[in-house]
Chains A and B, each alone.
Chain A
Amino acid sequence: MTATATSRLSGLPDSPADLRTFLHGLPGVDKVGIEARAAALGTRSVKTTSKAQAIDLAIRMVDLTTLEGADTPGKVRALSAKALRPDPADPTCPPVAAVCVYPAMVPTAAAVLAGSGVHLASVATAFPSGQAPLDVKLADTRDAVAGGADEIDMVISRGAFLAGDYAHVFDEIVAVKEAAGPAHLKVILETGELGTYDNVRRASWLAMLAGADFIKTSTGKVPVAATLPVTLLMLEAVRDFRDRYGRQVGVKPAGGIRTTKDAIKYLVMINETCGDDWLHPDWFRLGASSLLNDLLMQRTKLTTGHYAGPDYFTLD
């Protein structure tokens, strides 16, 4: 790892051995305890006015995502349009935070989103496996930014991480961050492949130390995606990281969040773990696709007083 990369924050570990010592010196995570805490937060009852407020906030936090081999310009244009006006029937409904697509689709989305304030995120770095040479990953990143993406969702090399080569992962993040230039860097830990909560905490800190603007749970392409306990752990990590280094990092759970009820559980978790400072689309995102329609249906239920049906919402 390079001296320049580590000098950004003071008091950072400055050799691979130090980095290892640092990451393994982080407090352990007890699985049963963190899962019990996440479950307890999940029992919060958010109703009426709080629910309305939570739904709008959740919509504003959505990274509306399509990451399919079958994505076409038409599909991406439709999705981008939906991002701008999720509920065409209700002008009070806010836009989502961002659209998230593959690099090849960035120019298409950019054409729709330009000037709207809705961000354009692109997965890069040989998403989802990350199993490609560094120069390919960097080119991937530069292309996406050049095409108009202002947010890059990179994947870490889980293989290197699990092999204990933390410096390799660190250096890659630093390099991608540099390649991304002005774009915000979200670092996908792929927590479903890390195996333990202790690893999730270490990977979170590793990504933050290397310069991540956001840490993100998952690609959505492995069986276990975002979970409440994993997100809780990452929220604790960004909270503690800011306490220690003064820099705020965002969190993005992605994959498997489909219902309003789930989304609200995440908001409750932010509220009672990090507090207000993270309750904003700049600091928390929900990587999702079908979630948006459920949020819209629940929103309609609150405004009209009767239950909504899926035929009344666009399927883009």
Chain B
Amino acid sequence: MPKSSKTAPAVAERSRLAVRKTYKLYVGGKFPRSESGRTYLVDGDNVALASRKDARDAVVAARAAQPKWAGATAYNRGQVLYRVAEMIEARRAEFAALGVAPVEVDAVIDRWVWYAGWSDKVAQVAGGANPVAGPFFNISAPEPTGVVGVIAPSSLLGLVSVIAPAIVTGNTVVVVASNPQAAITLAEVLATSDVPGGVVNILTGRGAEIAPWLASHDDVNALDLSGVDDAGLATELERAAAGTLKRVLRPVSGVDYTGDPGTGPMTALLEIKTVWHPKGF
């Protein structure tokens, strides 16, 4: 299909023909087309239209990347997230060209920095020693839940506000994004920011088509429905997620992503593990 929405300039006006970007998916650190071969038009760009099989492949990539990402030191994950902020700072123009307001880009950058700093603190805030009534060392510490399926909100800030809290603790994500150009541009940032391949996987396309496959997928541990506006769909997805008792973050209407996110978005995707050991010689 031709790029029909844009009016072609006359030959005489052309100085140099621009090289256009192809918006593909971001899976396992690579930028594949949809296995379905489908695309859809967004603001004149052909964007990959992800299929359920792309979602399946993305879950495989996310699962493969998860242990190593969770096993990286918190300090290291923090540095990687900070690097993302640096890279966005350097690519402000690209986001501006996509119509993202400078103030939102600022907020996006600051959000990555905020979460970067959380990487080696959240375990202390969410965990701790338990004074059990007996001769035991007893400690509770959070661990990432695993692979998180995310139906992302449509703004860039919203997108970052669901990805960053999930991955900072060691989860990996499969994100269904509804702002494809900004999302894939973010993917390009991630791909050049030392975020290991597979930690963030971004599918562009129709949430309603792909989300049910993530909700029912046996190898997905949690489901973030922040970007689901349709209450009926949200209920259906939550119900499907009950099949393997996934942790579900329900959509909250009217979230202001410019506000203080608190620790909730991180702790909702953590499991508390409590370890007991006797003390004595």
A is bound by B? yes
Name A's B-contacting residues (CB within 8 A).
Answer: 30-33, 35, 195-198
Name the residue in B134, B136, B281 with the highest tally of chain A Cβ atoms < 10 Å from its Cβ: B281
Listed A/B pairs (8) with beta-carbon separation below 8 Å: A30-B278, A30-B280, A31-B278, A31-B279, A32-B135, A32-B136, A32-B278, A198-B281
Dominant secondary structure of chain A at its interface with chain B: helix
CA distance A30 to B136 in the complex (A): 12
| Sample of 9 further A-B pairs with CB below 8 A, known A31-B281, A196-B281 | A30-B280, A31-B278, A31-B279, A32-B134, A32-B135, A32-B279, A195-B281, A197-B281, A198-B281
Name the residue in B134, B135, B136, B280 with the highest tally of chain A Cβ atoms < 10 Å from its Cβ: B280
8 A Cβ contacts from B245-259 to A: none
CA distance A15 to B158 in the complex (A): 72
Min CB distance A286 to B, Å, is: 26
**Tally of chain B residues near chain A (CB < 8 A):** 7
CA distance A33 to B136 in the complex (A): 11
Q: Which residue of A lies closest to B136 (CB)?
A: A32
Residues of chain A within 8 A (CB-CB) of B278 are 30-33
Per-residue CB contact flags for chain B residues 253-281 toward chain A (1 = under 8 Å, else 0) read 00000000000000000000000001111
Residues of chain A within 8 A (CB-CB) of B134 are 32
CA distance A229 to B155 in the complex (A): 65
CA distance A120 to B209 in the complex (A): 91
Residues of chain B within 8 A (CB-CB) of A195 are 281
Residues of chain B within 8 A (CB-CB) of A198 are 281
Q: Which residue of A lies closest to B280 (CB)?
A: A31
Q: Which residue of B lies closest to A196 (CB)?
A: B281
Name the residue in A30, A32, A33, A35 with the highest tally of chain B Cβ atoms < 10 Å from its Cβ: A32
Min CB distance A230 to B, Å, is: 13
CA distance A48 to B281 in the complex (A): 38
CA distance A33 to B281 in the complex (A): 11
Q: Which residue of A lies closest to B135 (CB)?
A: A32
Residues of chain B within 8 A (CB-CB) of A197 are 281
Min CB distance B248 to A, Å, is: 39
CA distance A46 to B7 in the complex (A): 98
Residues of chain A within 8 A (CB-CB) of B280 are 30-32, 35
Min CB distance A205 to B, Å, is: 19
Residues of chain A within 8 A (CB-CB) of B136 are 32
Residues of chain B within 8 A (CB-CB) of A33 are 278
CA distance A198 to B280 in the complex (A): 11
Residues of chain A within 8 A (CB-CB) of B281 are 31, 195-198
Residues of chain B within 8 A (CB-CB) of A30 are 278, 280
CA distance A33 to B278 in the complex (A): 8
8 tightest A-B contacts by CB? A31-B280, A32-B278, A32-B280, A196-B281, A32-B135, A30-B278, A31-B281, A33-B278
8 A Cβ contacts from B25-50 to A: none
CA distance A55 to B281 in the complex (A): 34
CA distance A99 to B135 in the complex (A): 40
Min CB distance A37 to B, Å, is: 12
8 A Cβ contacts from B116-149 to A: 134-136
Min CB distance B214 to A, Å, is: 45
CA distance A32 to B134 in the complex (A): 9
Min CB distance A210 to B, Å, is: 25
CA distance A114 to B280 in the complex (A): 47
CA distance A31 to B277 in the complex (A): 11
Min CB distance A162 to B, Å, is: 14
CA distance A176 to B79 in the complex (A): 69
CA distance A197 to B278 in the complex (A): 14
CA distance A30 to B281 in the complex (A): 7
CA distance A198 to B281 in the complex (A): 8
CA distance A195 to B280 in the complex (A): 11
Q: Which residue of B lies closest to A195 (CB)?
A: B281
Residues of chain A within 8 A (CB-CB) of B135 are 31-32
CA distance A195 to B135 in the complex (A): 18
CA distance A241 to B134 in the complex (A): 32
Min CB distance B278 to A, Å, is: 3
Min CB distance A40 to B, Å, is: 14
Min CB distance A199 to B, Å, is: 10
Q: Which residue of B lies closest to A198 (CB)?
A: B281
Residues of chain B within 8 A (CB-CB) of A31 are 135, 278-281
CA distance A162 to B254 in the complex (A): 71
